[in-house]
Structure 1
């Protein structure tokens, strides 16, 4: 199935029934197949049928189902009508049917504004991503060095409310008994603003909320390409306190517990009404990668006032002033709502309601609903307070530390994970507190190792291979992790450059005039284009080869209205017959004029050749660049 173009920047899908039988696989991808979601299989089937999948870049979405070789079957209504005779059953008396997938799309979501984290899939996009303000600070800058554990619990939310979708932030929170239940705290106004005319999201809507973990730059700088992330789909409401008259919290339980590969962390909290003396906010402003904002003065009690239907309970909010730091001046923006406020002890003390800080208003307010008020101050009990959910053993604790459910469990990464035949891979153990290691490298040589960080594991055969690591730690004992299909080995060898020319030496090129107009020829030059083709006019040509150009500037060379046809050919070419595949790359800029640009390819040293039209002539001179 292919959804036709809509002109949107991205397309999302929601389902009122989503079922994949065992062995089946569903893939969703964009026009260029640069973004592939899936495979969705029987392990991703939601319990109630309602489901949603991530946004797909562009206006075209393709849905592909791969059926298992042998369709699984099941008895109709689970009834058995066979005859049992001793140890034999007559199959003629069974009533069975094959299991087929059921994918009922209930909604197509068209996004017409830029979605920064999808930019990396857009082959036509030439600019970088980043919808947040330029003053924001990436979480892996020096400001976040002391918050590397806590950041793992913070995630972006792509949430649905009726026909609308939008961004918020929130985070995993711990319980007094370290239960590992995936409770996730965000702002209630992300859930809805019923007193301001926006009904709450339904249970069906929340089953399609999407939670993006680890969406962040690996370094302090904004990356050149969008980073990957990990996704959880769907949640259920546990408790909430409205923004109007309450403290603006919403506690949900994720439909799926984040696995070890997500490196989840359940943040601790402080439910006292004690102001934080310093701390940070970690958030996803404008749906962008994870950022960090820092405050150094004590939080003050405040009341949020956003107008009719959006006034919090008196002094139910903390207000903090974010300050300039080494790499910027963090603030909050749309999309930051619901993000956690951490105190100096690295415990959550609130969730963001809003404020008026911005990169253009650095000293603005930043108001967070108090965790103290969230705990038990909103009348109503279980459905309006955190207490029942986060203190299931009724311990009465006022503070709780964070919890790492996989602390002491084995984990590792490899560099690189894709090699050519004969390539080598290095492995790094990141297990906390391991005292012994046992590695298994499927397809690798050597195939085993007992050192902590094995290096130069060689893979000689094309394929995908699993890697397993067994460790022993005081906390977790002996445990094993296996990453299936983790190493990819490609056939042959990597691409190598066999020829390159940057037009710096004119003798490397010959120019042939085909039309009889001698001055209608290519020009190898270090001089930039002039006249209407200059860098300050439409159709500009900017050098990508150190200031050297090959120009065919017919208007600049003659005023005679004659046929203009000449070709340029290298005199220093190479024989490519020994290569299985050859890729030619070059950059061209041209004005949309009458001219055509052609490329000739030959397999017999140009005794004959094949002509390729790079771009054809235009019917009319458009006098604009391309």
Structure 2
């Protein structure tokens, strides 16, 4: 939220209707109201509670279809300063809260959409032209109560540019964030710390910031977490469960809430811990873009379609894709979509599957030692002993008072998923195909982010390269930029330094012809004197085309090659291309890859009674090598192995 938005929200929240009346607008009682059909809250609650099972997202609201535009409903007026104002009221009797789905939203510059309660005491931040998206939709967070005032303010000359169509009103019949029954008292609040006897929580403050609850389509709820990528550039990727139901078509309807947690520590197993908390829902992101999903490992990855607000102190969690069993684990979640809690498993996990244990698509917490999970926790992250995400919650029998298990879709399986960009994590979390096995998290409240992360040059032809440096808006003052480990002989300059919060600078690294060929890591630092951040840049310098790789395994003529073969070769500079074929002219290619950054490649299943041929070549910024000599392994020598179902 910008300063201007915060000020306007303050005015609406504090002055309410008095502020509006000062503009010579009609009293609110005279503004047209749309009365919606009454809903049977009790019957809807019973229906929902009976339908709840593990592996299903919980619902809290029912959809009411409407067709509202400023041309068909409400009233237009003009303020003293000549601004055009459109207002209308919407009432759904006995609703505990309302949220709205605009299937058309295009706000002109200087225009604002407000949603607030009739008395002006509850309001959602203004939506502006910054909320215009390519999908053209806007889905709002909840506003408590059965009646909401919709209000648009914009320059009168821009009225024709407004596009606003409300199609869905969602009537809350159970209470968003009010579990039925309330979440178990054994849960541990994330606000708890050493002063409360829970010092175990304090070392995990960063990953706590990654987790958030959300609703989709205005009716269903789940949990999830922000997740980092190898570029370390604060792209707002958000990992959750496939069974929560996010798809390409409904991803714009996702609304994620941040820092929804109790304000004080409710001791586990106390009566207070089993009662509703006092968390607030005023920090949120609305709208997303579907990136990938895979049902067997139950993951969905979306990208939030607005930048993260530094004032929310966002943290993008790290991850670990290695197929190793974690020695302990941490879960951070919203049980019953109530205030955020944290759970601990102090013993090694197990590998299992949701449908069949032999599927090996999930990791299993056998019995939580502190806390648990519940309905509404679906999609919440599971962290290993190094605070890196290894999965997201599918479901299980765990609850307060039992020793049952929880199952989490395994990130190691989701990495390759279904083998395409829309069914695996690899393309999004490692877009440059670096081969990273794990990644640490990053705070995006105080960040200096370069773009790109990696630059490659061919000398002597290229004398300099540039990086765009973005400074996040969370810093308290101007940020001074500097570099460590600049290669000897090179020079560097910033177009702007220091840089104001939320602004950018261009870093130019020059005199590159003086450098020897190689890869150089340069550390970029930024500080406002209180907060600081650092990130690494990589400069790859080449003076000649890549050399031809030397093949190592499978060796030429090797026998007993596994059905899932791993190909390796000697390292060269740049990236690699591999081809595997059933003929030495490579007209029948059965497996291939390009852009590989490490000297290894695992093939798909190979067939017995077939001779396979393979070769590799390398390329860098200066040019491509010749293909390597061809290696082959003969027929009848494929060593078949039993693979998991």
Quickly name the TM-score band, shorter chain normalised.
0.5 to 0.7
Distance 2:181 2:446 in 1: 33
Q: 1:407 to 1:65 in 2, by over 3 A?
A: closer
User: Which runs of structure 2 are paired with 1:1-150 in the superposition (5 Å)?
Assistant: 1-68=88-155, 70-72=156-158, 99-116=160-177, 131-142=182-193, 143-150=200-207
1:238 to 272, 276, 291: 291
2:380 to 339, 358, 362: 339
Q: Deviations over 1:33-53 (max 9, x none)?
A: 332012112212222211111
Q: 1:249 to 1:406 in 2, by over 3 A?
A: same
- Which residue of structure 2 aligns with residue 604 of structure 1? none
1:184 partnered with 2:184: no
Q: Partner of 1:105: helix, strand, or coil?
A: strand
Q: Cα distance, 1:322 vs. partner?
A: 4.5
Larger radius of gyration: 1
Q: Partner of 2:347: helix, strand, or coil?
A: coil
Given that 1:247 and 1:313 are in contact with CA atoms closer than 8 Å, whether structure 2 keeps it comes out as no
Q: 1:474 to 1:281 in 2, by over 3 A?
A: farther
Given that 2:383 and 2:389 are in contact with CA atoms closer than 8 Å, whether structure 1 keeps it comes out as yes
Aligned residue pairs total 365
Q: Cα distance, 1:407 vs. partner?
A: 3.8
Q: Deviations over 1:354-389 (max 9, x none)?
A: 11111242x11111011111111x333222111111
Q: 1:224 to 1:388 in 2, by over 3 A?
A: closer
User: Which runs of structure 2 are paired with 1:526-605 in the superposition (5 Å)?
Assistant: none
Distance 1:337 1:313 in 2: 22
1:480 partnered with 2:525: no
Given that 1:11 and 1:59 are in contact with CA atoms closer than 8 Å, whether structure 2 keeps it comes out as yes
Distance 1:5 1:399 in 2: 49
Gaps of 5+ in 2: 1-87, 194-199, 267-272, 450-474, 484-493, 504-645
Distance 2:219 2:278 in 1: 25
Given that 2:312 and 2:445 are in contact with CA atoms closer than 8 Å, whether structure 1 keeps it comes out as no
Given that 1:14 and 1:108 are in contact with CA atoms closer than 8 Å, whether structure 2 keeps it comes out as yes
- Which residue of structure 1 aligns with residue 437 of structure 2? 398
Distance 1:468 1:402 in 2: 22
Gaps of 5+ in 1: 73-97, 118-127, 192-200, 306-310, 411-466, 484-626
Q: Partner of 1:147: helix, strand, or coil?
A: helix
- Which residue of structure 2 aligns with residue 440 of structure 1? none
Distance 1:299 1:225 in 2: 33
Q: Cα distance, 1:478 vs. partner?
A: 3.3
Given that 1:28 and 1:63 are in contact with CA atoms closer than 8 Å, whether structure 2 keeps it comes out as yes
Q: Partner of 1:18: helix, strand, or coil?
A: strand
Give the TM-score normalised by structure 1. Answer: 0.54
Given that 2:262 and 2:277 are in contact with CA atoms closer than 8 Å, whether structure 1 keeps it comes out as no
Say which structure is richer in strand.
2
Q: Cα distance, 1:113 vs. partner?
A: 0.5
Give the TM-score normalised by structure 2. Answer: 0.53
- Which residue of structure 1 aligns with residue 600 of structure 2? none
Distance 1:313 1:210 in 2: 36
What's the Cα RMSD here?
A: 2.8
- Which residue of structure 2 aligns with residue 320 of structure 1? 365
- Which residue of structure 2 aligns with residue 269 of structure 1? 319
Distance 1:343 1:386 in 2: 18
Distance 1:301 1:165 in 2: 33
- Which residue of structure 2 aligns with residue 589 of structure 1? none
1:297 to 347, 367, 374: 347
Distance 1:260 1:390 in 2: 22
Q: Cα distance, 1:105 vs. partner?
A: 0.6
Distance 1:318 1:180 in 2: 27
